[in-house]
Structure 1
Amino acid sequence: MSVQPVSSAGGSKPRVAVLFGGRSSEHSVSCVTAAGVLEAIDHSKYDVVPIGIARNGQWSLVSVDPEQWSLRSESLPEITAGPESVVISSDGGSQELVSHAPDAMPRSLGRIDVVLPLLHGPFGEDGTLQGLLEMTDIRYVGAGVLASAVGMDKHYMKVVFTAAGLSVGPYEVITDRQWAQDADACLERASKLAFPLFVKPARAGSSMGITRVTEAAELRAAVETARQHDPKVVIEAGITGREIEVAVLQGRGHDDPRTSQPGEIAVNDGGHEWYDFEAKYVDGAAAELSCPADLPDDVTTRVRELAAVAFDAVGAEGLSRVDFFYTRDGDLVINEINTMPGFTPISMYPQMWAKSGLPYTELIDELISLALERPTGLR
């Protein structure tokens, strides 16, 4: 395995730790996102240090070769734990990577200037990793602790959106305790929503554990499927409308967030009833992005404004993708915000920015620059 050489602490280029893998069910998706970034990042400008997190939580230096982490092989990419692990150490305002191996003294692997945390799902995108980085006083790309946690939890995300005046579709929440105490009552409550329903883990992404349900008899199995990923489940009433997405990028300094041209996802015929995991990451022909979406000018303006409202409502930083339904009645109903959207070659976030005039490599550069200029601590 080819591992990225470690530069000395005196290197002149900003040192970027690209962190991926993780403990969630989206481990492989995170690796695929990292493959895209490792291929596109300007290696002449940054000293890139790829760090993989195995499913057991161990951090280690891994290959910088994007091919190893892509979906081009027959199996999903996976980071395995090895004999040597690395940690980020903070001492007196400086941050460095430190290697630990059995029967060996810890050794420094040099400084780290900024972390690019390309983790999806719990224990990476939900504020836990962000809290660790805050405690080590290290700069990182993307949303902070609160925004990451709210953006990960589809329940509290909707609560915050409603408080901000955004239109949210009908939904129900089933907690672990409620399900254990009276599952039938939970199902009865959910069955009052208008079918079809989408049964989702509350704190998962990449369409993991989601089931489309067309009748009440299917609900129990769908809830159990979602509970394999998260004991807390959100059930949403299906909304008839066009799926419109907007990519949001934090403004420089105290400037307002920037928004891309809106994009529209169309799932092609071929076995995908909706925008599921296969359509997102595996089948490149399963979905098409139209950007800018064919919308009236006033709707384009409005959906971009609402995306910025959603970004600010959760207190996001860096980047987010905000998803809406545009209904036949002309309403814009927010579906969700993703504070660490996918960066695969067919992912919507980089595609929308590319079609809005900000190419992939320049987008990565802008995100790193935003993180480097952002102060650590409370802000």
Structure 2
Amino acid sequence: MRKKINIIFDYFPSDTSGGLLTTYKRLISLLKDDYDFEIYSIFNCEKTAMGESDHVRINNILKRKHFPSIMNLRSNLKHFQILSVIKQFLFFLMYFFYIPICRSKIKSILQNDTINIVVSPATAMFCPKSLKFILEVHSNFDYFFGPKSSLLGRMQANLMREPTLVLFRTKSDALKAKEIFNSYYIYNFFSTSSYPTVDLDCIKKRDKKIIFMGRLAPEKNLLKMLQIAKKLKNQVPSFKLDIYGTGVMEPVLKEFIKNNDLASNVELKGFCNNLHIYRNYSLLWITSDYEGFGLVIIEAKANGVPAISTNWGEGVFEVIDNEKNGLILETNEDFVTQTIKLWDNSGLLLQMSQNALKSFSKFNQVEARKKWLEILTKFEKNDYKFTF
């Protein structure tokens, strides 16, 4: 009989929600020959199967469909949408009201003879104390557990049931957590098995075009990106920045683009799941305040596109080797200066692009599969000692 993995969400995300759904689709594809999978959504996501993977069933634990969004609440407050604020506030009250109800339901549904993977501390709040589970943290350690943790992150960490094992996205975060939890790390990964080879000529032909791919969320600090774009336009009037994704920041970004005469340079392209698209660009920009890992950085690496990123946490140095396969910068002026430097020095840009492509190997599916199987085997044996 095949072993089974349950993946538990507080709310199963939409197809356009960003990296979280992509991460678990890739995990299921990675381990489908070894495990059967089943998905549980605490709140009703109105789906019964996982998109194209119809063999993966989605079970909705609650009938309730409405799920609160802190980003929507912030947006409603900012725009004085009082009725929407009240509606979101009621959603939050109901959200916490359902915690004890869900703990009881999950206790009767999920057993410890299967592997249970909980996708976030928010979801772990709904888990019963008796449940043995792996908690995955997709943001960084400090957001939930550090001395400067956010109010929302700290609240979720305090309310969640203690996990059996916590998996972070970076080694640095896992090491921070060792004194608190059984902890380890697993990098996000990306498969290039169906991809054509990225050759030298492809890289050389790239224009002065920059890509961003991800959710249009406050923590991505996309207004900083647009401020950098505004400065860059003064020196490179013909450059292009394409922003792929959807989210609550979209109206704010549209307004900034319009008010700062950036329409000919910056375009909001909407949701995109065609990862070949990176090959049309010479650089990836990341301006996040914090990240758990930065999935788009390895997707860009797989296409030979170096990233210029803010220092969003210690983990950034695990995915970018500064000044070799990308750049880690702070100020808007540095972003502009270094972008121009790379565009003006084709040899330097070519070398950094090649280095990005070469450094992708530790994030490929072969390495990920090996590490996941090690983690799951040890978890089943109640062995939580890992070598870092």
TM-score normalized with structure 2 length = 0.34
TM-score normalized with structure 1 length = 0.35
Higher strand proportion: 1
